[in-house]
Structure 1
């Protein structure tokens, strides 16, 4: 199945901005993004088709997955 993955902020460095990725049916967000090797604790915000989701969310064909790192500020 095909899933569009969008990365934001410093996640794009050395990776990509938008990529259509191929995943096996039943793949969770956590499993799907493992190849991206994010530093722990991983994404701060996960959106599937614009709605908040967890790392355990099971991806579906045609989904758009957006990943934002944790940020801090003052």
Structure 2
């Protein structure tokens, strides 16, 4: 077997392994699963703290929110 044939065989084997791995990833990564993971990250990260703070500020002092809403309207 020549060096070129060996490289071609190894290349085909690697392609098959990559294809198998991608198939496994596709099976695991459904849109619902991706959204669940994204929601978990948002609810636990800095975005969640920002959102909670914004909500608290809005509830405690609604006048600025009303003025912004009036300005946008």
Which structure has greater helix proportion? Answer: 2
User: TM-score scaled to structure 1, two decimals?
Assistant: 0.17
Max radius of gyration: which structure?
Answer: 2
Higher relative contact order (CA 8 A, sep 6+): 1
